[in-house]
Amino acid sequence: MKFFVDTANLEQIKEAQDLGILDGVTTNPSLMAKEGITGEANVLAHYEAICELVEGDISAEVIATDFDGMIKEGKILADIHENIVVKVPMTIDGIKAIRWFTDHDIRTNCTLVFSAGQAILAAKAGATYLSPFIGRVDDMNWDGIELIAQIADIYTIQGFQTQILAASIRNPLHIVRAAEAGADVCTCPLSSILGLAKHPLTDIGLAKFLADHKKGNA
């Protein structure tokens, strides 16, 4: 399973990169705004900075919601760097745009996915990645991990090549369960990635090893 970090914060991206386990980055307009990155020129420059930091796929989202606008923006985004993946919302115009990008060798990430039906449509259009938002599904009192497992089953049965990118990850357990359910990629906040390393017995065990070592050398 690939690990992407879900942020536009350059320091966090760098910290994730320094772990040596990072395969890419996803962003969205909300994450950009959170970092105070506004205005087309600044947003494009920020994507460029992320591409310079990380050797891996970088999702950059279109803002337009109509087909022509998405194509225009997607072409500009794809021109920034060969690692850019154009992120397109799951709408009817979005599906048409994904088909257009696929036919023109531009890779896509279909975002805001909440159902298996949407997953089938995006795969038919040739999306490179599919982003089911598991945390937001859980927020609705449904089961985000169950959705990942259902899509994984469908893609295997049907032989779809689209990679399942579990998004809206909120905690380390989401990562573990998404891996179990068949996600190809998890895009996570840095805190959830770091949380995977935590276990109190590791801390207790390490403290004991160090104390015993000290006694042995006293």
Q: Which residues are at the interface with ligand G3P (CB under 6 A)? A: 6, 26, 28, 31, 133, 135-136, 167-168, 170, 187
Q: Which is nearer to ligand G3P, 128 or 168 (CB)?
A: 168
87 versus 100: smaller Cβ distance to ligand G3P: 87
Please report how close the Cβ of residue 114 comes to ligand G3P at its closest, in angstroms: 11
* Nearest distance in Å: CB 146, ligand G3P: 17
Q: What is the nearest approach in angstroms of ligand G3P to the Cβ of residue 91?
A: 16
- What 8-state DSSP symbol labels residue 63? -
Of 46 and 170, nearer to ligand G3P (C-beta) is 170
CA–CA gap between residue 25 and residue 56 (Å, rounded): 7
Min dist CB 202 to ligand G3P, Å, is 27
In the set 2, 75, 87, 198, the catalytic residue is 87
Q: Are 41 and 216 in contact (CB under 8 A)?
A: no
Q: How many residues comprise the chain?
A: 218
Q: How far is the CB of 26 from ligand G3P (least distance, A)?
A: 6
* Distance in angstroms (rounded) separating the CA atoms of residues 67 and 181: 33
Q: Catalytic residue at 87?
A: yes
* DSSP of 70-110: HHHHHHHHHHH-TTEEEEEESSHHHHHHHHHHHHTT--EEE
- Specify whether the CB–CB gap between 59 and 26 falls below 8 A: yes
Which residue in the shown chain puts its C-beta closest to ligand G3P?
167
CB nearer ligand G3P, residue 135 or residue 182: 135
Helix (H) / strand (E) containing 13: helix 10-18
Smaller CB separation from ligand G3P, 71 or 122 = 122
Q: Are 192 and 171 in contact (CB under 8 A)?
A: yes
Structure-token match 């994984």, residue found: 152
110 half-sphere exposure, CB direction, 13 A CA radius: 33
Name the residues annotated as catalytic. Answer: 87
